[in-house]
Amino acid sequence: EEAIAAHGRLCYGRERNASARGAGRIVCRPECPNALIEANPLYPAAKLRIDELNAEERAVYATLKPERLPQHVAIIMDGNGRWAGHRSLKRFLGHQQGANSVQLVTETASRIGLPWLTLYAFSLENNLRRPRAEVNFLMRLLRTYLESNLQRMMDNNVRMKYIGRTHELPAEVQEKMRWAEQATAGNTGTTLTLALNYGGRSELVDAFRGLADEMKQKHITPAHITEEDIHRHLYTAHMPDPDLLIRTSGEMRLSNYLLWQIAYTEIFVTERLWPDFKGIHLLEAIAEYQLRERRYGGLSDSVGEVEENPDQITIVAN
């Protein structure tokens, strides 16, 4: 702590990886949720466990271009209630089956060496608008899920993280979350981030609050704010933006998920309900992603040089 006093100050969880180097820097405690996480190098061969995929998954994996795999896949896991409804079961059973899909998809992601997988498990609006009984069930399910799947996370070298206003969740849930996060902190494979009590707009509010505090302290004026400053204050400051966003159950909306981060993310919507979504469907979504051409507002590679001089073209008024 003496060294920190000389060269910087401790982050108590409010700053997000601000100024990592130099005097006056902010140093995260080891348990700090904001501690800088280095992205894993893209798909290091040593971490691939393709031999652990099942035969169907291996067949789809074989069609993928290894150099065009996404780094970060985000999923809106929707349709648990409908899955149960179609079977005349209670919604709870749909959620329980959905938890099973979480584990299977995570394990497939870890076998192909996907660095980042971010799952929308419970939104801020779910917390506010769903019946208390359902919310309580989801909280209990989350605790049980973490407890009973920790060994599998370890076996798959998965590191667990969370985004959202998790401090508003019940204390015993937070405790279990911290436990799983700490136990898996040393794992170097896929980082599984669960979005819990998460809302994209509330994330932006939290980011702007953090940024406003920083500006006040450092006497920065609004004209100097950059996109990078906003990025630094998001819950996801340590991750690349998602390359691919998957939504199950066919709804064509974002439901307040990662609003800032998905500016140029490829979106894949499937009618399949989340409890029916397995590792093979993740691989199929990645195959579809690889057919997309990402232009980021630029031009397609197939568009050659513009031949004519646009200055010579008469613009006709409509």
- Angle ∠(173,178,181) on CA atoms, nearest 5: 125
From 155, 175, 251, 271, residue interacting with ligand IPE (rule: CB under 6 A):
251
Q: Which of 122, 145, 268, 277 binds ligand IPE (CB under 6 A)?
A: 122
Contact in structure between 242 and 74 (CB atoms under 8 Å):
yes
> Taking the complex as a whole, how short is the minimal distance between the CB of residue 61 and ligand IPE, in angstroms?
26
Q: Which does 115 bind (CB under 5 to 8 A by kind): Mg ion, ligand IPE, none?
A: none
Residue of 34, 40, 78, 156 with catalytic role: 78
Exposure string over 277-299, b if 16+ CB within 10 A, otherwise e? bbbbbbbbbbeebbeeeeeeeee
Contact window for ligand IPE (CB under 6 A) among 11-19, 21-29, 80-88, 101-109: 80-88
Nearest-approach distance from CB 81 to Mg ion, in angstroms: 6
Q: Do 245 and 282 contact (CB within 8 A), yes or no?
A: no
| C-alpha to C-alpha distance for 295 and 301, rounded to whole angstroms | 9
Closest CA to 173 of 204, 203, 215, 142: 142
Q: Which stretch binds ligand IPE (CB under 6 A): 24-32, 63-71, 78-86, 263-271?
A: 78-86
Q: Which residues pair with 266 in a beta bridge?
A: 244
Residues 252-291 that bind ligand IPE (CB under 6 A): 253, 255
Determine the angle formed by the axes of helices 279-289 and 55-62, rounding to 10 degrees: 10
- Interface residue with ligand IPE among 61, 120, 145, 268 (CB under 6 A) is 120
Which of 49, 58, 82, 90 is in the footprint of ligand IPE by CB under 6 A? 82
- Give the bridge partners for 10, in sequence order: 27
Could you tell me the sign of the dihedral formed by the alpha carbons of 272, 114, 38, 146, in that order? Answer: positive
How far apart are the C-alpha atoms of 130 and 128, rounded to whole Å? 6
The reply to whether 126 belongs to the active site is yes
| Nearer residue to ligand IPE within complex by CB, 274 or 289 | 274
Write out the residues near Mg ion by the rule CB under 5 A: 78
Contacts of 223 (CB under 8 A, 6+ apart): none
Q: Would you count residue 81 as binding ligand IPE (CB under 6 A)?
A: yes
CB of 84 to ligand IPE, least distance (A): 8
Mark the segment that binds ligand IPE (CB under 6 A) among 115-123, 163-171, 279-287, 302-310: 115-123
State the number of binding residues for ligand IPE (CB under 6 A): 17
- Known catalytic residues? 78, 126
Footprint on this chain of ligand IPE (rule: CB under 6 A)? 76-82, 120-123, 126, 138, 249, 251, 253, 255
